[in-house]
Amino acid sequence: MSDVAKTKNVKKEMSRLANFTKGFFKENPVFVFLLGLCPALAVTGTVEASLGMGILVIFVLTSSNVVVSLIRKWIPHQIRVPSYIVIISTFVTIVGLLTEAYAYALHGELGIFIPLIVVNCLILGRAESYASKNKVHDAAIDGFGMGLGFLGALVVIGFFREFLSTGAIAYGVYLPLAETPGSIINIDSYVFSMDAFGQAPGGFLVIGLLLGIFNFVAILKRNKKERERQRMIEEKKRQALERKRQKAKEKAGANA
């Protein structure tokens, strides 16, 4: 294999890695694009419920991206959005039936928010903006990566809400993670018994605080890049001025 071909392969792998990881921080669906805020507020009372919803969204998002990419050339432009909704609703029906059969407690906890995955702006948006314009493997990577970013955001929100409202992080309640329910963390203190965080107002508060932290970090990174850019510009100006002075000295020496 030639060096040019190797370079192209490396660039392709790097671009796929960037495509996969962009949903974690840079293009996080919840904390950057503010998509899927309905489930982010409604089902993040516990870590397990957040994890369950995230897993369902990953499956639906990845599967719908793959199917949309496969048949993108045969979908008429005028009916593309209804077609995407039919594809998404098919996978939502599948996950709804599977959840009811194998994780009935989770199905009862998520309730109406399982069928509402059909109208999740994240899933429809990725189908329209990415899957319909790219190859199958790239669409699958995009769907899985953005789904993981969504899951991560839900779990972080669920962690703070559950811990602040109960002082514990339970497992085995909604998901079949253990034969008997238990808890990873259990702190018996009135400080971690703020019931409001288990309700809708607490959800708004936690999401608002996390958005503030996320934006603060993004601003710090942006300012750092701007300072580096200004430093590079100043360095280039200095080098250009030095070269100009050197040429002037050489010209003066030649005239002498």
What was the pLDDT predicted at 10? 46
How many whole angstroms separate alpha carbon 29 and alpha carbon 37?
9
Question: Rounded to whole angstroms, what are the CA distances from 29 to 54, 134, 146, 162, 234?
Answer: 12, 20, 7, 22, 37
Give dist(CA 9, CA 21) in Å, integer: 18
* Segment among 13-17, 106-110, 120-124, 149-153 with least mean pLDDT: 13-17
pLDDT of residue 142: 94
What are the two backbone dihedrals, phi and then psi, of residue 184, each rounded to the nearest 5 degrees? Answer: -80, -45
List pLDDT tens digits, range 28-64.
999 999 998 989 999 999 999 999 999 999 999 999 9
The 10 Å Cβ neighbour count of residue 239 is 10
pLDDT band at 24; cut points 50, 70, 90: very high
**pTM of the entire structure?**
0.85
pLDDT higher than 60, residue 3: no
Closest CA to 151 of 120, 125, 124, 185: 120
pLDDT at 176 over 90: no
DSSP 3-state of 26: coil
**What's the token pair of residue 24?**
């974690």
Comparing 5-9, 133-137, 214-218, which segment has the lowest mean pLDDT?
Answer: 5-9
pLDDT band at 11 (very low <50, low <70, confident <90, very high): low
